[in-house]
Amino acid sequence: MHDKLLIRHSALILTMCACWAAHAQTEIRLWPGTAPGALGTDPDKDTPRMYAFLPDSAKRTGCAMVICPGGGYHNIEPFRDGANGAIWFSQQGIACFVLRYRIGTEGYRYPEITADARRAMRVVRSRAKEWGIDTARIGIYGASAGGHLAAVASNYYDTGNPNAADPIERMSCRPVFSLLLMPVISMDARWTYQPGVPNFLGSNPSQALIDSFSMEKHITAKTPPTFLAHDYDDGLVTYLNSIMYRDSCIAHGIGVKFLRVYNCGHGITTNGCPGWADTALLWLNANRFNVVDKTPPGAPTGLSAQALGPAIVRLFWTSGVDAESGIMRTRVYRDGQHIQDVEGQETTYTDSGLTEETQYAYQVSSINFTSLESPRSAPASVTTPSDVAGPTIVAVYAGVSVLVEFNEPVEQASAQNAAHYAIDKGVSVTSALLQSNGRIVVLTVSPLTQGATYALTVNNVRDHAKTANAIAPDSKITFQVRPGLSKIRFYPRAGLAARMAGGVFEGTNGDPASGPYSPLYAIGASPANDQWTEVANLTNNDIGYRYIRYRAGGNCNIAEIEFYRGTKLAGTPFGSPGSYGNSGNDFRKAFDGDVSTYFDFSTETGGYTGMDTEGGSPAVRTPCATASERNLLHFSVSGNRLRVTSAASVILTNTQGMVVLRRQLNGPGIVDLSALARGVYAVSGAKNVNEIRRAAVVVR
Residue 188 confidence class, pLDDT cut points 50, 70, 90: confident
Q: Do 131 and 278 reside in the same domain of the chain?
A: yes
Query: Which residue(s) pair with 504 in the sheet?
Result: 522, 551
Structural domains counted in the chain: 5
278 within a domain of the structure (yes/no): yes
Does the residue 410 lie in any domain?
A: yes
pLDDT of residue 603: 42
Residue 467 class from Cβ within 10 Å (0-12 exposed, 13-18 middle, 19+ buried)? exposed
Residue 108 has pLDDT above 60, yes or no: yes
Identify the top-confidence range among 20-24, 251-255, 496-500: 251-255
- Shared domain for 141 and 220, answered yes or no, is yes
- Residue 425 sits in a domain whose CATH number is 2.60.40.1220
312-318 β-sheet, strand order: 301-309, 312-318, 348-351
pLDDT score of 647 more than 50: no
CATH number, domain with residue 688: 2.60.40.3080
Strand order in the sheet with 402-406: 393-398, 402-406, 440-445, 429-434
Q: Under a CB-based contact definition with an 8 Å cutoff, are residues 558 and 504 in contact?
A: no
What digits encode the pLDDT tens for the residues 430-471?
999 998 888 889 899 998 888 889 999 999 999 999 999 999
Q: Within a domain: residue 479?
A: no
Q: Is-above-0.85 flag for pTM? A: no
413 and 371 part of one domain:
no
Confidence of residue 479 (pLDDT cuts 50, 70, 90): confident
* pLDDT score at 689: 29
Q: Are residues 360 and 337 in the same domain?
A: yes
Helix axes 84-91, 2-23, angle to 10 degrees: 10
Do 276 and 401 share a domain, yes or no? no
pLDDT category, 21, cuts 50, 70, 90? very low
Answer for the pair 237, 265: CB distance below 8 angstroms, yes or no: no
Q: Is the pLDDT of residue 215 over 70?
A: yes
Average pLDDT on 197-216 reads 89
* Same domain (yes/no): 378, 408: no
Same domain as 317, residue 256: no
- Mean pLDDT of the chain, nearest integer: 80
Q: What is the mean pLDDT of residues 571-576?
A: 70
Q: Which of 250-254, 359-363, 443-447 has the highest mean pLDDT?
A: 359-363
State how far the Cα of 468 lies from the Cα of 470, in Å rounded to an integer: 7
The three-class DSSP label of residue 197 is: helix
Residue 179 within a domain? yes
Q: Please report whether residue 433 resides in a domain.
A: yes
Give the end of a domain, one of 230, 262, 286. Answer: 286
Q: Can you tell me the distance from the alpha carbon of 534 to that of 431, in angstroms, rounded to the nearest whole number?
A: 35
Residue range of the domain that includes 557: 487-612
Position 673 confidence tier, pLDDT thresholds 50, 70, 90? low
Q: Give pLDDT, residue 307.
A: 93
Distance CA 406, CA 617 (A): 27
Let me know whether 665 and 552 are in one domain.
no
pLDDT at 579: 42
In a domain, 293, yes or no: no
Q: Note the pLDDT of residue 198.
A: 86
Tell the burial category of 438 from Cβ atoms under 10 Å away from its Cβ (0-12, 13-18, 19+): middle
Mean pLDDT of all residues in 67-87: 82
What is the mean predicted confidence (pLDDT) over 471-492? 89
Give the residue among 227, 208, 35, 198 at the shortest CA–CA distance from 115.
35
CA angle 389, 391, 392 (to 5 degrees): 115
Whether residues 19 and 148 fall in one domain: yes
Is the CB of residue 49 less than 8 Å from the CB of residue 124?
no
Q: Residue 255 falls within a domain, yes or no? A: yes
Of 25 and 642, the structure prediction assigns the larger pLDDT to 642
Residues listed for the chain = 700
State how far Cα 191 lies from the chain centre: 22
Three-state secondary structure along 600-626? Answer: EECCCCCCEEEEECCCCCCCCCCCCCC
Q: What is the CATH number of the domain that holds 377?
A: 2.60.40.10
Residue 511 is classified by DSSP as B
- Residue 413 main-chain phi, psi, to 5 deg: -60, -45
The answer to whether 445 touches 430, Cβ cutoff 8 Å, is yes
Dihedral angle computed from the Cα positions of residues 553, 557, 559 and 560, in that order, rounded to the nearest 10 degrees:
20
Are residue 276 and residue 232 in the same domain, yes or no? Answer: yes
Does 376 lie in the same domain as 275?
A: no
Strands 599-601 and 178-181 come out as unpaired
Greater confidence, 191 or 144? 144
Domain boundary among 241, 258, 286: 286
CATH of the domain at 601: 2.60.120
Q: Residue 225 and residue 252: Cα distance in Å, rounded?
A: 11
Residue 385 predicted with pLDDT over 80: yes
Write down which residue in 263, 286, 309 finishes a domain.
286
Q: Classify 438 in phi/psi space as left (phi over 0), alpha (psi -120 to 50) or beta.
A: left
Measuring CA to CA, which residue among 74, 237, 90 is closest to residue 82? 90
Mean pLDDT, range 126-145, rounded to an integer: 91
| From 81-85, 127-131, 235-239, the region with the lowest mean pLDDT | 81-85
Supply φ then ψ for residue 651, to 5 degrees: -130, 130
Mean pLDDT of 190-219: 87
**pLDDT tier for residue 684 given thresholds of 50, 70 and 90:** low
State the amino acid at position 305 in one-letter form: A
User: What whole-number distance in Å separates Cα of residue 646 and Cα of residue 271?
Assistant: 28
Residue 456 has what pLDDT? 95
Residue 621 lies in a domain: no
d(CA 578, CA 553): 12
Instruction: Verify that 447 and 495 share a domain, yes or no.
Output: no
Q: In what order do the strands lie in the sheet with 669-672?
A: 635-638, 641-644, 669-672
pLDDT tens-digit map of 297-348: 999 999 999 999 898 999 999 999 887 767 878 999 999 999 998 877 788 9
Other CB atoms within a 10 A radius of the CB of residue 10 amount to: 10
More confident residue, 260 or 434: 434
- The H or E element containing residue 339 is strand 337-343
d(CA 248, CA 392): 47
